[in-house]
Structure 1
């Protein structure tokens, strides 16, 4: 992938001492609740109403929100322009250094009740193009109570390259706990992570690993593509959303600031960096955002490779969409509360980079402001607030126009079929749903309501891979009941798809 901006000199990677970087342990005793802050916000609003009046107070609030929306609009537009100008060329760029750098790597996957997708995932991992003597494949069965464990054991019997670890259901820690369990069993230079519903391209591993030639790089993110966009109208909307997120948003953050996020799947992290930071944080439900911030605060960087592609399955129902996005919002908002001070104090980030990092941390707070903005608009329609209705709408609408610009550029750069443009209409109701999800997550987090990591339910409907003819019955595995696993043929549908 062509790199924009100044070249980072090849100097030894420096990771700050634990006293300089928030460690995993520092989150253990930190309560999420910010009830005092909520009370302060309410008292501030009441005081403003009494001193300045309702109309003036709401007018000032609307003005501040519009300024925030305008800043985010400029950010969205800049990302869209960057992707429109350079992303397609980078997608078609000649392969660089895919053969010359092959450090020892370990590939981790955490699985919890993934029997619908595990075959496709294992098949894709075994097809990765990398020297067999320099790769370890470790899959963690994280307390599954379906057929995931026996199915993984059967694959391990047939494939010596595959190691399966079984965690008790009571182990805790969610995905972070499963990955940390795998981390204790390997010795490699680079760790790659995929989710159970992911099917990476065979060359994705080489494309991710090549960036670690630069010692300043601590982690690398690849591009995720939705493979089941036709399964439901919601899956189609998520398909377009991912085009915006990976072909435009992450690309723009790389092109303009060299500050993309480590996304938690189809990604890689330097082993020495990971161990120095204490591994993945089991006290967060968004371990990827948490690790992104700790890598940046340690003095290293995250890089994005638009050409390192893998395929995942979108949620197909509104209920699954809610569960997934609530987890993202809850975890991301907690990261904002945990890291905004360290980001502003960091010696490794410029003023501009600190500003972008703060905007990234606030991403899941902006829809909350959108809800407040809509409420102010409704109040003004009833004569409450000193700004005319036309004064509230223009800048507020920029919050919608900015993301729509990213979505449109994503469709253009990816060259999807023309009728996919109709999916832009689905952005409006999905954004409205996101306002409610993020607001609920914000209030639950500030009130300290308990929440643990919840996995996304799979549907297992679509796969990018042709079915593999698995001998029947599969060899019995010691400690499990002998069992046969039938693999669907062409007439019965595909195998191993995600949901």
Structure 2
């Protein structure tokens, strides 16, 4: 009896956690619709500042040339534009950069090919090193897979009219959203962050984050916040919180889009997820207590900061709830008296309804009801299917286990043009974790069969989504690893 009660309790606790997280998302939906900051009428800058564009690069042979071309096409006076190609590459990318840089230097661009003596600190170290070599007032940063528009600086710099603004961040677009079902689902989820989360937090005056790329920093803000640090895998989130704790304001521009390439394979996507989830957990470990101690912050801002920094921990809650769902099903079948307690599971179902409003807001006017109807349940299923993989990353982050920064490979794919097969930088994930994910398909399939056989339908929907999600993740992990 005591063990049965413990299992049911451990099953219900993560369900309540997920419900609280959904309530935080609902709050952001409310802020997005009802508290949008007024659109500021910005005039053209009368005195243009000097801008340094930093391009941190590590082995990007397929995309580096188009990035340099895009940055050199900026509609900005050449004498005020400095470009740093911060190149840590170890392959033929070095020669491609050297050739491009030499060409643009010959036509008058202040562009430099910077090779550090030692590759320490990964991306954060490269950005910090480049900062010591420039006197520019503003620093624009782009990862290798982005193609910024020519008017990027014209649309972002006017928002620094207040001296308290430290960062202007733009929304990511997607160069290859239609490439595959995997890229469509990635775009579906990322848009939720870049529309409702960033937009809602910014509208309400809460902390947001620089997304590592497609944004502009005031150089003095970076210095005042303590500079770039490589002690987490998400140096962008870390510096964002340190800067805002110092009182700097961030501006988010949802209407300014900076397109980028989405990971085209499941192993590459999982590699990116690992870095983001673990890095967020590391940042929570490093910065959350500082947020709570800051007496200048509103309680609501502290609350949203907690959900923001701890959001990767949701995957632990999803995995624990999923894993214990079958023992809970067995217990309630043998001991019907627990059915009333299990009614708390309706919180999970309510969470799904809230997420429908969240992603409905995200894609309002962008997707049809038909697209939303099939993409949302499939996206949520795949998120569940990543819960084991991402939970491992989050736990490592919370416990301080250090691992190197692993870049996400990109192959120059634009919509349906291009491919990744037989190219360099392929990530393979055919390992023990992949086999465990495939094993969980059988595990949750067993739970689904039990529910149908016993005509106990309360968990049929959950187990169906888990079978689909783990099947999707496991299948494409194997398929893309063997291709």
TM class by shorter chain equals: 0.7 to 0.9
Q: 1:55 to 1:419 in 2, by over 3 A?
A: closer
Matches within 5 A, 1:223-262: 223-262=171-210
Q: 1:263 to 1:383 in 2, by over 3 A?
A: same
8 A Cα contact 1:377 1:389, kept in partner: no
> In structure 2, what is the Cα distance between the partners aligned to 1:167 and 1:340?
33
8 A Cα contact 1:190 1:270, kept in partner: yes
Shift of 1:102: 2.8
8 A Cα contact 2:7 2:327, kept in partner: no
1:351 lines up with 2:303 in the alignment: no
> In structure 1, what is the Cα distance between the partners aligned to 2:99 and 2:359?
42
Q: 1:349 to 1:104 in 2, by over 3 A?
A: same
Aligned-residue Cα RMSD (Å) equals 2.8
8 A Cα contact 2:224 2:243, kept in partner: no
- Aligned partner of 2:101 among 132, 135, 156: 156
- Aligned partner of 1:73 among 22, 28, 31: 22
8 A Cα contact 2:12 2:342, kept in partner: no
1:165 lines up with 2:117 in the alignment: no
Matches within 5 A, 1:106-255: 106-142=52-88, 144-160=89-105, 161=109, 162-168=111-117, 170-255=118-203
Shift of 1:149: 1.3
1:281 lines up with 2:233 in the alignment: no
TM-score where L is the length of structure 2: 0.78
Partner of 1:471: none
- Aligned partner of 1:378 among 320, 323, 326: 326
1:323 lines up with 2:275 in the alignment: no
Q: Which deviates more, 418-427 or 318-327? A: 418-427
Q: 1:419 to 1:60 in 2, by over 3 A?
A: closer
Q: Deviations over 1:40-99 (max 9, x none)?
A: xxxxxxxxxxxx933444454455434432322222223334445688x98xx7962344
Q: 1:430 to 1:100 in 2, by over 3 A?
A: farther
Shift of 1:223: 0.4
Paired residue secondary structure (2:87): strand
Partner of 2:397: 445
Q: Deviations over 1:162-187 (max 9, x none)?
A: 2110135x522111011111111101
Paired residue secondary structure (2:323): helix
Unaligned runs of 5+ in 1: 1-51, 466-499
> In structure 2, what is the Cα distance between the partners aligned to 1:60 and 1:127?
59
8 A Cα contact 1:289 1:332, kept in partner: yes
Q: Deviations over 1:242-287 (max 9, x none)?
A: 2211122211111223422111111122111211233211222101
Q: 1:418 to 1:397 in 2, by over 3 A?
A: closer
Paired residue secondary structure (2:264): coil
Q: Deviations over 1:107-139 (max 9, x none)?
A: 111111111001211111112222322221111
- Aligned partner of 1:402 among 347, 354, 361: 354
Unaligned runs of 5+ in 2: 418-483
> In structure 1, what is the Cα distance between the partners aligned to 2:371 and 2:248?
42
1:456 lines up with 2:456 in the alignment: no
> In structure 2, what is the Cα distance between the partners aligned to 1:127 and 1:392?
57
Q: 1:61 to 1:390 in 2, by over 3 A?
A: closer
Q: 1:404 to 1:318 in 2, by over 3 A?
A: farther
> In structure 1, what is the Cα distance between the partners aligned to 2:416 and 2:79?
27
> In structure 2, what is the Cα distance between the partners aligned to 1:308 and 1:227?
15
Q: 1:374 to 1:464 in 2, by over 3 A?
A: closer
Q: 1:213 to 1:429 in 2, by over 3 A?
A: same
- Aligned partner of 1:296 among 237, 244, 248: 244
Q: Deviations over 1:324-346 (max 9, x none)?
A: 00010111101111112111001
1:269 lines up with 2:217 in the alignment: yes
Q: Deviations over 1:328-380 (max 9, x none)?
A: 01111011111121110013311111111111011100121121222333221
Matches within 5 A, 1:35-54: 53-54=2-3
More helix by share: 2
> In structure 1, what is the Cα distance between the partners aligned to 2:204 and 2:339?
36
Partner of 1:361: 309
Shift of 1:463: 7.6
8 A Cα contact 1:98 1:207, kept in partner: no
Partner of 1:468: none
> In structure 1, what is the Cα distance between the partners aligned to 2:416 and 2:172?
13
> In structure 2, what is the Cα distance between the partners aligned to 1:71 and 1:444?
24
> In structure 2, what is the Cα distance between the partners aligned to 1:228 and 1:94?
32
Q: Which deviates more, 94-103 or 130-139? A: 94-103
TM-score where L is the length of structure 1: 0.75
Shift of 1:418: 6.3
Shift of 1:389: 7.0
Q: 1:422 to 1:295 in 2, by over 3 A?
A: same
